[in-house]
Chain A
Amino acid sequence: QQQVKQSPQSLIVQKGGISIINCAYENTAFDYFPWYQQFPGKGPALLIAIRPDVSEKKEGRFTISFNKSAKQFSLHIMDSQPGDSATYFCAASPWAGNMLTFGGGTRLMVKP
């Protein structure tokens, strides 16, 4: 069964701290692992994505770490800001543009 398990469900971080969200997948056919950010009343917006040929990808304050052997990947948000408060979803698919399997989401709150 294609599943993506995400943890934690909710996260509270102080401004300037590091937010870490973890995901694990089962299907070895997955080859594209995006993270989405969703604000209330809006659709998910692509934040950053990685393919398993690299172990880490960084874009600004956002970093994805990928462990292919463990079938796990994580999102790190450095210097977290109140504007980062949103729900974050990890996802996986066989390739970009194909059906996405989403994790259950993490509601992040960054306290001023």
Chain B
Amino acid sequence: ETGVTQSPTHLIKTRGQQVTLRCSSQSGHNTVSWYQQALGQGPQFIFQYYREEENGRGNFPPRFSGLQFPNYSSELNVNALELDDSALYLCASSLRQGSRDGYTFGSGTRLTVV
């Protein structure tokens, strides 16, 4: 059974650019969620996808968008990057219902905006 894999592991972008982060869900999981973790803080929920549709969103602006594909993999897109977007972006997969185990997190993508 494979876990959650994210790519790339590190990324440096310039303010104003766009970025796409990728995530492959754990086998058997059908829901994917994205979290932003600033340095020294707890993860903050960005949004969740289930059956290829957004299924909940945290307090993040529309320039944060996502996709979920039929194989349950996912992308996080951030447009018009700002310096404050520098953070560790975590992908987590889960079962929509019936799971006693909650989330499995990936190791994250460290995004630095300069």
Residues of A whose CB lies within 8 Å of any CB of B are: 6, 32, 34, 36, 41-46, 49, 89, 91, 93, 96-105
Q: Mark B92-114, 1 if CB is under 8 A from A, else 0.
A: 10111101111111111000000
* Given A43-B90, A100-B102, 19 extra CB contacts under 8 A: A6-B42, A36-B105, A41-B107, A42-B108, A43-B105, A44-B90, A44-B105, A46-B101, A91-B42, A96-B102, A97-B31, A97-B97, A99-B33, A99-B45, A100-B45, A100-B103, A101-B45, A104-B42, A105-B40
Closest to B95 in A: A97
Confirm or deny: B41 has a beta carbon within 8 angstroms of a beta carbon on chain A: yes
| B107 A42 Cβ-Cβ under 8 A | yes
- Determine if A105 and B101 form an interchain contact, defined as CB atoms under 8 angstroms apart: no
In the complex, how many residues of chain B place their beta carbon closer than 8 angstroms to a beta carbon of chain A? 29
Q: Chain B: interface secondary structure?
A: loop
Which residues on the A side are within 8 Å of B58 (C-beta)? 99
**Would you call A43 and B108 a contact (CB within 8 A)?**
yes
